Structure 1
Amino acid sequence: MSGNRPGVESPQHSRPTVTPKRINVAISPEMVRALENVITREGITLTEALRRLVGYGDFVYRAIKEGGEQLTVTGPDGTREVILL
């Protein structure tokens, strides 16, 4: 066990402190339904659903736009390519 205080990482494992930002935005009914879908399926809060969806979107965006990667989704009906415009 390290001598660090609980919740404080040692310097070699430290990450920059990020202060959360509060935002107030208007979203479409489709976005509300997407959030409600995640909330219902995962049993999580609105805030956590929003965090997850933004994180997923960031992952997809970076993979395609910044990494030049091809993203595909495979399911029972076949495989589809995800294209960002």
Structure 2
Amino acid sequence: MSAAATNAPQQRANPEKEKTPPKRINVAVGPETIRALEAVIEREGVSLTEAVRRLIGYGEVVYQAVKQDGAEVLLKTGDSTKQVIIL
């Protein structure tokens, strides 16, 4: 076994991803969304496609927590805590 194979992180298979092939979508987004995508691209050094995937993933986590679980979203920085209201 090669060193690369030995040191590769274990990845869990996601059965849902294996069943459903990726879909190509075409959407129009506003300037705020473009700025958010550009920030992720610049800060994390990823492609536009990966930035979209990450922001959708983050949004899904927040959406499920708030809309399905009834959770509150709090942003804590040092001694300051702010509540985020999701409509």
TM-score interval (norm. to shorter): 0.7 to 0.9
Cross-structure match for 1:9:
none
| Identity across matched positions, percent | 52
Q: Which runs of 5+ in 1 are unaligned?
A: 1-12
Q: What's the RMSD between the two structures over aligned residues? A: 1.6
38, 41, 51: which is aligned to 1:39?
A: 41
Moved over 6 A (4+): none
C-alpha change, 1:77 and 1:51, in structure 2 (3 Å) is same
Give the counterpart of 2:23 among 21, 24, 30: 21
Count of aligned residue pairs for this structure pair? 73
Where do 5+ consecutive residues of structure 2 fail to align?
Answer: 1-12
Decide which structure has greater helix share: 2
Secondary structure in 2 matching 1:80 = strand
CA distance in 2, matches of 1:64, 1:19: 28
TM-score normalized by the length of structure 1: 0.79
